[in-house]
């Protein structure tokens, strides 16, 4: 988003600090200035090993303490966290922009498409809610 409140494309890239003792956020509910509620989904670049069961960083699901607890119920593919939390690394520097699905080597630079106070279109993976 620029200083005028314009957004380019369907994604916004931000740098954050993460508390590694807590699972990463999957979604955030926002209220716009018009009073509408919007869900914002997150994807993380550079995410190290993390557990799809508990969301904690540093181990995989097959080594999770939850799997070995008495209360564990096998979830199959319906885990609360998954590969969808990993963002594909976006280009940096002067090569930033939106890339065509047909030709990934050709950047198509976006122009502001909407004011942030308008109703943004945010995609949310179906298994996050």
pLDDT per residue over 10-60, tens digit each?
777 888 887 878 888 888 898 888 888 988 888 888 878 888 888 888 888
* Between residues 8 and 83, the one the model is more confident about: 83
- What is the band of 98 on the pLDDT scale with cuts at 50, 70, 90? very low
Give the pairing type, strands 98-99 and 6-8.
unpaired
Give the count of beta carbons closer than 10 Å to the beta carbon of residue 53. 21
Q: Which domain holds residue 4?
A: 1-129
Give the pairing type, strands 37-41 and 98-99.
unpaired
Residues 6 or more apart whose CB falls under 8 angstroms from that of 61 comprise 51, 52, 53, 67, 79
Which pLDDT belongs to residue 89? 61
For residue 30, give both structure tokens: 């926002």
Q: How many domains does the chain have?
A: 1
Give the count of beta carbons closer than 10 Å to the beta carbon of residue 124. 14
Which pLDDT belongs to residue 44? 85
Which pLDDT belongs to residue 40? 85
Q: Provide the β-strand partners of residue 40.
A: 28
Which pLDDT belongs to residue 129? 41
Does the reported pTM lie above 0.75? no
Phi and psi dihedrals of 63, rounded to 5?
Answer: -110, 10
- H helices, E strands: number in the chain: 0, 6
């Amino acid at each position: 988003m620029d200083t005028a409140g314009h957004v380019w494309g369907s994604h916004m890239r931000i740098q954050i600090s993460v508390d590694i003792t807590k699972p990463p956020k999957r979604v955030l509910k926002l209220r716009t200035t018009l009073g509408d509620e919007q869900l914002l989904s997150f994807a993380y670049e550079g995410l190290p090993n993390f557990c799809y069961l508990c969301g904690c960083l540093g181990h995989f699901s097959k080594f999770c303490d939850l799997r070995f607890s008495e209360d564990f119920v096998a979830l199959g593919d319906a885990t609360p966290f998954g590969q969808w939390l990993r963002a594909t690394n976006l280009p940096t520097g002067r090569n930033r922009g939106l890339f065509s699905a047909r030709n990934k080597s050709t950047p198509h630079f976006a122009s502001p498409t909407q004011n942030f106070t308008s109703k943004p279109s945010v995609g949310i993976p179906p298994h996050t809610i």
